Every structure is written in structure tokens, then in C-alpha cells.
A and B are shown apart, each in its own frame.
Chain A
Amino acid sequence: MNDLKDRVLRMSGSAVVKCMRCGKCSATCPSYDEMEYHPHEFVYIVERGDVEKLLSSESLYKCLTCFACVERCPRGVEPAKVVEAVRLVAERQQGGNRLKPDEIPALCDPDLPGQAIATAFRKYAK
């Protein structure tokens, strides 16, 4: 098992091998159209050990962490926790901060749902 995959599995506590590839996570995902890699792909790619590929993807920051996929996954795989873990791996890398605090006001869309803003704040390192 490679190191990155190991870290993601440990941080998420998710058993990606339980996935039966039904795609219900992606079927239920509200940010689906925004994402390059969809929840089911996250799970599959982590299981294959290609975490590198995900680290540079914008999809990491599109997940609302709404947990609909966690709630509905019939196999208890918890895809949102996998996404969150990959995001943390990305942020903990040197210079991995997605945004600087000064950039935030300019990016705020008045129509943005409150949950999205709240979730976004978790994506900034100190």
C-alpha cells in the first residue's frame, strides 16, 4: 500500500474496498456537475492508489461536505470523508493553501449558499 493511500485511508476511516460501484454517491451529489472527479471516482481512484491524481484536481474544493453520499451509500463507504481526507492531504503539503484570506471577499458570491461558505472556510489553512 502506498503511503498517500495509507494516509487517506487512515484520516478518512473509510473502507473503500467495501464499494460495490453502484454510483449512488454520484447520483445523490448536488455538486456533481461542478466536479471533474465525481464521488464514486474518488473512492475508486483512492482504492487504486492514485491519490496524486486527485491532489491537483479542482474537484477537491467543489465538494460541499453535505454528506448526502455518506447518508445514502448502501455499503457504508462514506465517500465525503474520503474527499475530505484527500483535501487535507493536499492542504498539508508545502504551499498547499488553496486561498489566502485576502482573496475571500472578492470571491464571495451573494447567491452562494451559506453551507458552501461555511464549508469553504475549512479549506483554508492558517
Chain B
Amino acid sequence: MQKIGVFVCHCGTNIAATVDVKAVAEALGREPSVVVSQDYTYMCSESGQNLIKDSIRDYGLTGVVICSCSPRMHENTFRKAAAQAGLNPYMVEIANIREQCSWIHKDKAEATEKAIILGRAAIAKVQLNTPLIAGESSVTKRALVIGGGIAGIQTALDIAEAGFPVDIVEQKPTIGGKMAQLDKTFPTLDCSACILTPKMVECAQNENIRILSYSEVESVSGFVGNFTVKIRRKARYVDETKCTGCGLCTEKCPVKKVPNEFNLGMDNRRAIYIPFAQAVPKIAVIDADYCNMLKNGKCGVCSKVCTAGAVDYKQTDTFVEEKYGAIVAATGYEISDVSRYDEYAYSQSKDVITSLEFERLTNAAGPTGGTLLRPSDGKHPHTIVFIQCVGSRCTPEKGKPYCSKICCMYTAKHAMLTREKYPDTDVYVFYIDVRTPGKNFDEFYRRAVEEFGVHYIKGAVGKVAPRADGTLEVQASDLIMNEQLHISADLVVLAAAIEPSKSARSLATLLTASMDTNDFFTEAHPKLRPVESPTAGVFLSGMCQGPKDIPETVSQASACAAKVIGLLSKNKLTGNPCVAHSDELMCNGCSNCANVCPYGAITYSDKEFRMPDRTTKTRRVAWVNPAVCQGCGACTVACPSGAMDLSGFSNSQIMAEVDAICK
């Protein structure tokens, strides 16, 4: 017979306002096996926990039920408190009377009644709880960072600094990500490449970091501390160990008309190429879609000019398999497709560009060598219109429902730099709101207006129409003047919404990490655990979790590294004792459980059993490896003989809860 203590939390007024906590404590006190039932303002507070601990000692409690907030909030707090008082932590059950009762119901009588039923269900469950002891597992002291942009680079550097080996997997031939494509960075206007490339080089030189560029994650198995990851190294047709990055092949290659993705297709590269001058690793790669040798076996120029003998047309994809203790997702973002907005004429005119294309047009390594020229005729634009919120802040049918966060600031930067370099240019910015929360951000925006004379107009652009003379007619509203404006522009720049990388969704599936409806990774807690995924051992760095600017990305990347280092510094991890176990006497060895187990945690062995007639018989029975089992319970339902059960969520416990609710 259990001796159960019930503790009802007021949570200030969060619970007490809609649930009569005294009545709940009194009603639950009358339940069988309950020896003490109390209520208190804040059970999670020090004194609240002491109340629980004292009761455990005073009444010799064998089970504890706490009616409070969600177990996802404070289950661990209360388990720890119980353990400190000498009670097995798994003898604690929580009835969720805040998130699932007081916060959603307004009628006090109704909410109180529900709280009592939820409390009864928890009491019914705890009656059947048994003490559980958590197993331990080892930690592989190596981290994997997926994505080699500024977020991935910073996380990898910080982990490597702490002395742990890190692998960076990058799908492009070089690390650097989007930041490498930017010209200047707000609000200080330092050159993006000047601050990024030293970090890229540091990655290449750090002996704890291995860069697996032009690679993708193929499969992930295992669990926190013990992941096994298979990585596909795509064929680059150039031997990484031999290539010196001299670039001779990229000058001699006869295929010259390949759109250069680094400059967003605004100029061309060769079929064998190095993405940009500061690429890390600086190794050439052959684009198999364009290479004559790979397509029809005729050419071989690059192989002939390569003094290092690095070109290898027969290279194929290879696979690397490695064990990791922690995995960091740093998959970053992409620019969303703006051609769906017909009114902006993005696909009709070359002079309607996205902001990232504008970055390349003003960058010294860009297609125009840093001179701002119109993509259509190479002339200097005299009137430039910037359009904000293109695809951001829309209904889901029309675009992205979120604010992309960075556009207000980079547009202020673009407008300011344009006016500084070309004072004869008229610059208009059409905005809905100017959002500049951040250190020195609003000051920066004000400078664009006050010092550089950028025309900020509150209103939206309704239509961009290309005209025969090559100009663009911009029809817009000025909400403050209550006028419709018609501006003849030479260049229109769209602040396109950002979206998570296309590869993120499939990666999330591999990692079993959850995502929100916009395909951003979900954090374990939106305020208190912002860099961890709900999946243990998977961490989030940078834009893949939500829109961020560079300073925020770097802070999050370092925070993420701190969490990874914390995990890798442990020698042992305490596992989850709520795992499956098989009753040998009932098991018939049918293998149904092993077939459904996603972790391969179930093995079979032959065991001898004494029969009633005193003979012995050998039978094949299942055994669950508690270190590998994650406790999903798939096997418990698959088992035809009812031999398999799950500790902490046993058949009888769940049925007791069902009974308590249906009574």
C-alpha cells in the first residue's frame, strides 16, 4: 500500500484564480492511500519544495502527486526535491492543472472539478509507480556542425577552442555562407569579408576542426552523446589532398558560360571553379552539369594544365561515418522567391533586383567590380527605389507571416552607402514600419535620413511597370500625404523575405528535431532554452531557428557552443529509466517487438526455463538494452502476448488513468 502525498500549487494566481485550490486539496485528500494533502502559493519555490521534502520525511511518503504547471516545466525540479528527501524521483507524478486547466477555463466550478479529476488520475497512476533507477551512457567527445556559415563557423571555433574535435559539414564547396556574399555590415559598416575571412582561415587552421565541404548528411542514428552520422562527400572531381588552389584550371577551362551562383547569376564562371578568392578550403570543383569531359568525354583541359595532377574525372561520391556526442544545426537561410509577386516585375526586368543581388552589385568582388551599375544596360542608376517587406508579414497564402527582421537595417545601409558614393542619386525607401531594435540601430537609420538625405516614404509600392525607355514606373502610395506617387526609377531593389534553407526540413526529419510551420527549427523552450532543440543532443545555431542579424547569430552560435561544450565535458550521461522491459515468462520470442523498434534495442537469447513437470525447456526470449531503448513504447503495443511493458508508462498505469478520468 502506497502512502501518497498530494501538493496543490496556487502558482500565485495563475492557478488559484480559476481553480479552488483548497477544494482540490481537500477532495484529493479523501482519495485512497492519500495520507497528506496540502496547498501552497508556489510549490516550485524553495519553501514549497521544503514543504514536499518535509512531508516525505514526516509521513514516510512512498508517492507524491503535485498538481501544478505542465510536467514539461517543473517535473525535474520536483523529482530532484523528492530525491533529496530520499524518495525515488520516479515516484513523483504531476497533474497539469495550469496549462491544461486553469489557463484555458474561465468557470471556477468547472475548472475545479477538472483539476480534481486530473489529480485523481495522477494519484491512480502513482499507486502503480515503481522506483526506477536511471542507467548511464558514455559520451563521444566530438561534435558535428551542419552548415558552414557564420553561425556554424562561430560554433565550431568555440567548441574547438574548448579542446573538443569538431566536424563542419557544408553542402557548398566552401564555407562562409551568406555572410561571404555581403558587402558591408550594419550598423558599423565594416567590410563583411574583412571580418569573416579571418574566421574562415582560423577554421581551416584549427587542428580540432575538420571541414567537410561539398558534403551532406546522409543518415543519423543513435541518441544524445552517441550519434552515428553518415556523411556523403559529393564528387568534386578534384583530389582535395593534391589541389593547391592555384586557379590555373579555372582560367583555362573552355566552358565559360556557367551562371556564377556566388554572384547570384549576374556574371559567369567556368565549369571548373573556385567559388571566390577567399574560399576555404581553396580547392577547385568541377560542375558536372557543364563539364564537357564529364558530359561527353571530350576536353580534359583542366587535367592537362594541373601541375599537381589533382583532377580526377573518375571520382565518385564517398561516404564518411563518424560518431558524435552532439549535433548542431546551423543550416541558415535563403532568399524567398519574389517572382511570384507579379506587381514588382522581378522576372520581367533585369533592373528589379533583390537586396542580396544589390550586395553583389556594390561589392568589389562582384560582377561590376563594385561600381553600382544597372544590370540591364550597365549605366549608372540615378533614381533607386527600395521596397520593404516583400513577402514578409503576409498571410500564409501571400508569403511569410513573420517579419524577416534584417531588411530595415540592410536597406538603411544600402540607401546610405548609395547616397555616400553617388550623391547625384535619388534614393526612395517605401516602408510600412521601420523596425530598428538593436544597439545603435535606430541611430543608424536616422543618419540615413538626416545626414544622407534618403527619402523615407511611409507607404507601399503597388506596381512596378517596365517602360520602353528602360526606366521603371513605380506606382506607390504615400500614406502621410495621402497621395499616390508615380516615380520613374532606374533600379528597384526588393527587400525579399528570408526563409529557412530548403535542406532544413529533411535534416529535421533525420535528426527527429521539430520545426514550426515556417520550417524554422523549434527551440526546447522559447525563452529559457533558446539554443537547444527538444531532441536531446541536437542544438540550434543561427538563422535556422529564426530571423537574426549577424551580431545575434554570433551570440547564439557561441551560446550554442557553450551548451555543446557542457554536454561533451561530461563523462557519463544519465539516461531515461522509462524504458521497455520484457517479461521472460510471457515472451514467446516472436520478434514482433524487434521489428518495430526504431533503435535496434531488442535482442533475443535462448534461456532455460523450468517447467511445472520439473523438466527444463529452452525458449527464445527478448531482451531490451536499457542504454539503447529510448522509451517510445512501440514494442509494447506490438507484443501479442503482453510480455513487453514500459516503465513509467505501463499498461496498468495508463489504464488506471483512463479509469480515473472516466469514473
Contact = CB atoms under 8 A, between A and B. Distances in A.
B477 interface: yes
Given A38-B482, A76-B398, A27 B389 contact: no
Nearest to B432: A22
Given A28-B475, A38-B482, A40-B477, A75 B395 contact: yes
A27 B395 contact: no
A21 B480 CA distance: 11
Contacts of B461: 24, 27
Contact of B477 (A20, A26, A73): A26
Contacts of B475: 27-28
Interface in B384-413: 389, 393-395, 397-399
Nearest to B344: A72
A108 B119 CA distance: 77
Interface in B435-469: 458-463
Contacts of A21: 432, 479
B484 A27 contact: yes
Contacts of B482: 38, 41
Interface string A70-97: 0011111000000000000000000000
B424 interface: no
A28 B486 CA distance: 11
A13 interface: no
B415 to A, nearest CB: 19
Contacts of B389: 22, 74
Contact of B394 (A26, A28, A41, A74): A74
Contacts of A27: 459-463, 475-477, 484
Interface string A3-43: 00000000000000010111111111100110000101100
Contacts, number: 66
B395 A29 contact: no
Contacts of B395: 18, 74-76
Given A74-B389, A74-B393, A74-B399, A29 B484 contact: yes
Contacts of A22: 389, 432, 459-460
A76 B458 CA distance: 20
Contacts of B397: 76
A45 interface: no
Contacts of A29: 462, 484
Nearest to A69: B462
A120 interface: no
B343 interface: yes
A6 B475 CA distance: 33
A55 interface: no
Nearest to A39: B477
B5 to A, nearest CB: 49
Nearest to A72: B343
A53 to B, nearest CB: 15
Contacts of B484: 26-27, 29, 32-33, 38
Contacts of A74: 389, 393-395, 398-399
Interface in B21-51: none
A68 interface: yes
Contacts of A40: 477, 479
Nearest to A15: B395
Contacts of A32: 477, 484
B351 to A, nearest CB: 19
Interface string B516-555: 0000000000000000000000000000000000000000
Nearest to B399: A74
Contacts of B463: 27-28
A40 to B, nearest CB: 7
A20 B432 contact: yes
Nearest to B479: A23
Given A28-B475, A40-B479, A72-B343, A23 B460 contact: yes
A25 B458 CA distance: 14
A72 B393 CA distance: 13
A79 to B, nearest CB: 12
A73 B460 CA distance: 10
B430 to A, nearest CB: 8
Interface centre among A18, A21, A23, A76 (most CB of B within 10 A): A23
A72 B462 contact: yes
B393 A68 contact: no
A27 B343 CA distance: 11
A21 B399 CA distance: 17
A72 B390 CA distance: 11
A52 B516 CA distance: 44
Contacts of A26: 459, 462, 477, 479, 484
Nearest to B476: A27
Interface string B472-501: 000111010010100000000000000000
Contacts of B394: 74-75
B527 to A, nearest CB: 26
A25 B395 CA distance: 15
B399 to A, nearest CB: 6
A35 to B, nearest CB: 10
A41 B475 CA distance: 18
Nearest to A75: B395
A25 B477 CA distance: 9
Interface string B327-343: 00000000000000001
Contacts of B343: 28, 72
B108 to A, nearest CB: 29
Contacts of A28: 343, 462-463, 475
A24 to B, nearest CB: 4
Interface centre among A21, A25, A27 (most CB of B within 10 A): A27
Contacts of B477: 23-24, 26-27, 32, 38, 40
Nearest to B430: A27
Contacts of A76: 395, 397-398
A75 B397 CA distance: 9
A41 B484 CA distance: 13
A108 to B, nearest CB: 26
B221 to A, nearest CB: 43
Given A27-B461, A27-B463, 12 more contacts: A24-B460, A24-B462, A26-B462, A26-B479, A27-B462, A32-B484, A33-B484, A38-B484, A72-B343, A74-B395, A74-B399, A75-B394
27 contacts: A18-B395, A20-B393, A20-B432, A21-B432, A21-B479, A22-B389, A22-B459, A22-B460, A23-B479, A24-B461, A24-B462, A26-B462, A26-B484, A27-B461, A27-B462, A27-B475, A27-B477, A28-B343, A28-B462, A32-B477, A72-B462, A74-B389, A74-B393, A74-B394, A75-B393, A75-B395, A76-B397
Interface of A: 18, 20-29, 32-33, 38, 40-41, 68, 72-76
Interface of B: 343, 389, 393-395, 397-399, 432, 458-463, 475-477, 479, 482, 484
- 4 tightest A-B CB contacts, nearest first: A28-B462, A27-B462, A24-B460, A27-B477
